[in-house]
Structure 1
């Protein structure tokens, strides 16, 4: 993966877009599917995408990032209870690397804790694509992701980490073309970004 350019406020060894393994995370906003595909492209191993049968947000194979189509498995659930059950089972399975799911209803604290325990048991990363305001307090992190429309650049996104149990919140403007795992952080106004230092 190409070296990330980082804002000066980041630690040089930190990856601000990393999702902690063995935990369940949440993402909301119009760019949540793109963020999920970016995370799928970064990982190796099987990826499970679990959705409700009536969900209209369907992925087309030609729109997937490089190397994801052959590892991606879709599961349709007839209802919300079945979706959460399928997520829990997939999180416990090995060697699954990422489980993505799109519930419609708010995730209760009890359901959120069950998913966290399943992720720990399977050493799997979970990512819930939630509607705004419908997350769980049990989530490890919560992101808000939206595209930044521009007549000159269609690859720019704003990814905001607004809940983080293990650290600080961050604000990232990124350029991502949707095709690979390579991404570049865009400097904020009046901030100068430097390439990440090479390993010592």
Structure 2
């Protein structure tokens, strides 16, 4: 679709990030990374300066980079990741994606935490940009932060990706078809007592 000038952005979070690396490389390159229920600051790599996600040079982006690099606002909940060495040794990965950031797990092992495709609007985060705003379940622990800066990070990532999606000309055939596809057709259920999520939709 993108090759045909039909913008189609993709964002992969956590396991979605891992899936992107699998789909691109054609093999499972993951290794153990003990990063469960913990937040880290990001270690920015040189490639971020030429990225769409962080390379604008705007004051807003500069503020977000400052927050991400200094504060524990990126919530991780994964047992696996991909190391920078594995990433760089795989021709398919290193020529398809920029490595934007890395992190170190609780055992000191470095893993890639954000990627962005060179040519396509494809993005991946090994951490969870969405949780700062929406998840307050006690079992997630005290390492999930809801500070003003943490909320800024969530909003920045969401607004960036929505702006990418706005470039698409895809639309429903009519208002009736559109209305039938809305999330509001389904009840939201409070599930904090039974899951790691405040609320869930059941289809």
Q: Same fold by TM (over 0.5)?
A: no
Larger relative contact order (Cα-Cα within 8 Å, sequence gap ≥ 6): 1
Structure-2-length-normalised TM-score: 0.27
Structure-1-length-normalised TM-score: 0.28
Structure of larger gyration radius: 2
Instruction: Pick the structure with more helix per residue.
Output: 2
